[in-house]
Structure 1
Amino acid sequence: MKLKLLFICLFALVCNSYSQEKKLPQGWDEVILEGKPAYMNLITGDIITNFPSKPALKKVKVAEYDPTQIHIVKKGETLSVIARKYNLSLAEMYRLNSVENFDKIKIGQEIVVGYDEKTIEPINEKYTDTTTTDYHTVVSGETLYRIAKNYNISVSQLKSLNNLTNNIIAIGQELKVK
């Protein structure tokens, strides 16, 4: 009888702990990314796939200048409409974007439409660690700015590491990030 009662209590405790919903820390919201749960920092806009353990904090670092000019796709827009709006050819649109299939552009998608001529020297010191080299393979929709941000380096450093003279990258391209 005692064993049965112990089993019931243990079962109830386990069920209760699994049924309780985890509460998101302050400043986070749950979103769906590629059909899976993800979490958006409401202050910075960053998205992570692991459940956040700390409240969202405002970044203190000075943001580097992003030379990328983007267009956010709106309802009813096609690639041709966007290209005409920015006086670009479809060939130029394909060259500017690392997107595999422009036939499936979606509302809210970022499309690169150009790069500002303005350049700002990075505030950070030049990265000189040559003990190991890490690479990043470019995937659809990425820009140099987003890749540099992910690896905590400047766009200038990323371009220097890869001997790039412009901001054009291609899907599948391997970039040194360290």
Structure 2
Amino acid sequence: MTQRTALAAIALLLLGLSTVLAADPLTHVVQKGETLYGIARSYNISLDDLVKANGIKDPAKVLPGTKLSIPSAAFSYVVQKGDTLYGISRRFGLGVDVIISYNGLASSMIKPGQALKIPGGAVAVNGSQSTTATIPVPNTVPHTITTPISHAIPPVVPAVFGIWPAAGELSYLQGKLKGAAISVKPGDSISAIRMGTVISAGPFRGFGKVAFVQSSDGLVYVYGGASSLQVRVGDPVRKGTVVGKADASEDGNGTVYFFAFKGSDSLDPDSVPRD
């Protein structure tokens, strides 16, 4: 499996988990010198979607300090043999007319291999709780992958800084996607637990800003829940390198997310190698 394929698979797993956890909507506070166009590009969404999501009448009059709601980026679905537009619309909980309009289709006729844009926020609702979609990942190309969604179980234990990316109350996530969530104070440092190279860094809906760090043996360590990242793609990191600062949720607390992957398989966060 190539690095890009693995990243796409990891992204789909995290997207599924974010819907299960019912994470807070992603928001952005406008900073001095920022433009709506630049903000939209940084979150991989269109300016029009950003404007509509926030009911903005005059983009030129958005002032620093304004809190913006960031809508989900649209993703693609590749039509499979036997698919119908009606079946696809039911899978993602959308109306046929919505998909037709969103894709500028002249009719409901589709063919295998055709890529359909699915509005952001749509989630597969079929009985197996799986999605087959093309998920955009920073610095990767899209791949079509199918994977089941995991479920969270909240036993809480102390997380020791150095062994974990942050110190706080540690809750384990179990199921298909294994991982950990650490309760922290907003602004707390999120630190790498192993040497590696940053292969992707940026916002990911449901997890704030996220850094993907690949170690020399190919394992990928994922650090999420950041309001800002201190690293970018290509940066080398060592154990203890601060990759970001914890974000604040609406209740005033912060959560740091940690996952580790071998290819597209999630690993037990307790047993993965540490420096």
TM-score higher than 0.5 here? no
Structure ranking higher in strand proportion: 2
Structure ranking higher in helix proportion: 1
Q: Provide the TM-score with structure 1 as the length reference.
A: 0.29
Tell me which structure has the larger Cα radius of gyration: 1
Q: Provide the TM-score with structure 2 as the length reference.
A: 0.21
